[in-house]
Amino acid sequence: MIKRKDGFSGERALVLPQSIIHEMEEDPISSILYITDIGYYPKAWHHFRERPEPISQFVFIYCIEGAGWYQIDGQEYAVTANQYFILPAGQPHAYGADESDPWTIYWIHFKGKFASHFAKQGIRPTEIKPSTHSRISNRIDMFEEIFKVLEMGYSHDNLLYAHSIFYHYLGTLRYLQPYRDASNHEADKNDPVTAAIYFMKENLEKKLMLQEIARHTGYSPSHFSLLFSQRTGYAPLAYFNQLKIQQACQLLDFTDMKINQVCHKIGIDDTYYFSRLFSKIMGISPREYKKKKKG
């Protein structure tokens, strides 16, 4: 996947060496399903890629915010938030971000003996609607673990573990309903406050408006705000910001992400606003928090 020369703020990407790819092709376990490239592009302005000459990898793209498009077999498809698609290997294609509302995407190039099985039905955009049992945040955590393991180097154990997670990751998409049914959430789906909190947690990488959260619960914004404030002691958007900063702390604690990368991961484009919000909620700046963690 090719990006603009100046890249995208907060982006991350890894391209595995050819020698490592050859090692995985020969291994009886990893040859089933393995990654060749992996990355995350937030707000990917002017992102565009065209491949008139086919490549041997399948291309997985998961849009979590914004919009984009792709072309294959002479047909163009629109892609919106909470949709993914998989482009088959060996076919020319093109894709790119929407010009006015560019997508934020997780992307993986992959190969393997089972690759075509997991890519079935993926040629059309598939929606993953946030809900009490959608487990979107779990899936994003899986992606981050894959990335982190590969970032630690290409030892044989690292490769096998990363690709074991990837096998499960694609399984959560290919067999979506069983994955959701396996959730152990005991919350009452009819409770608007609980439903709203799960909705917030599944959308930490986005900018949600009060109207969107209220609409998810089926209540008017004013009625929903009253219910939420009575239950939690906080206005809905203030609570959403707390959840964002909670996630930011976890990323600062347990990953090597830079502050601007963490900022984008929780759906905030302005690093100065992020720093002010973090300081207001945590009492110290993100930089101080990171130093304190390392000390």
**The CATH number of the domain where 240 resides is what?**
1.10.10.60
**Three-class secondary structure assignment of 170-200:** HHHHHCHHHHHHCCCCCCCCCCHHHHHHHHH
Work out the average pLDDT over 66-84: 94
In a domain, 186, yes or no: no
d(CA 57, CA 34): 10
Look at residue 161 and tell me whether its pLDDT is greater than 50: yes
pLDDT band per the 50, 70, 90 thresholds, residue 195: confident
pLDDT band per the 50, 70, 90 thresholds, residue 189: low
d(CA 184, CA 65): 27
Residue 295's pLDDT is 45
On whether the CB atoms of residues 78 and 66 are closer than 8 A, the answer is: no
Question: Per-residue pLDDT tens for 94-145?
Answer: 999 999 999 999 999 999 999 998 888 788 998 887 665 556 777 888 899 9
Question: Per-residue pLDDT tens for 270-285?
Answer: 999 999 999 999 989 9
Residue 2's pLDDT is 38
pLDDT band per the 50, 70, 90 thresholds, residue 177: low
On whether the CB atoms of residues 107 and 59 are closer than 8 A, the answer is: yes
Which of 155, 181, 207 marks a domain boundary? 181
Give the CATH number, domain containing residue 38: 2.60.120.280
Rounded to the nearest integer, the mean pLDDT of the chain is: 87
Residue 250's pLDDT is 87
Which of 122, 147, 181 marks a domain boundary? 181
Residue 115 CB coordination number (10 Å): 19
d(CA 21, CA 290): 35
Q: Are residues 154 and 198 in the same domain?
A: no
Look at residue 268 and tell me whether its pLDDT is greater than 50: yes
Residue 162's pLDDT is 95
Question: Per-residue pLDDT tens for 7-55?
Answer: 667 888 999 999 999 999 999 999 999 999 999 999 999 999 999 999 9
Q: Please, is 19 exposed, middle or buried when counting C-beta atoms within 10 Å of its C-beta (0-12, 13-18, 19+)?
A: exposed
The total of structural domains in the chain comes to 2
Q: Are residues 29 and 175 in the same domain?
A: yes
On whether the CB atoms of residues 41 and 82 are closer than 8 A, the answer is: no
Cβ-Cβ contacts under 8 Å for 106 (sequence gap 6 or more): 39, 40, 61, 62, 64, 140, 143
Q: Are residues 33 and 127 in the same domain?
A: yes
Residue 226's pLDDT is 94
In a domain, 187, yes or no: no
136 vs 250, which has greater pLDDT? 250
Which of 156, 181, 206 marks a domain boundary? 181
d(CA 199, CA 191): 12
Q: Are residues 59 and 161 in the same domain?
A: yes
In a domain, 2, yes or no: no
Look at residue 175 and tell me whether its pLDDT is greater than 80: no
* Residue found by looking up tokens 């981050």 in the block: 144
Residue 33's pLDDT is 94
Structural domain for 83, as ranges: 12-181
Look at residue 3 and tell me whether its pLDDT is greater than 50: no
On whether the CB atoms of residues 290 and 251 are closer than 8 A, the answer is: no
Q: Are residues 123 and 164 in the same domain?
A: yes
In a domain, 41, yes or no: yes
Residue 127's pLDDT is 84
Q: Which two tokens stand for residue 140?
A: 């994003």
Work out the average pLDDT over 209-233: 92
In a domain, 3, yes or no: no
d(CA 163, CA 159): 6
* Residue found by looking up tokens 């900063």 in the block: 245
In a domain, 160, yes or no: yes
Residue 242's pLDDT is 92
pLDDT band per the 50, 70, 90 thresholds, residue 174: confident
d(CA 266, CA 290): 16
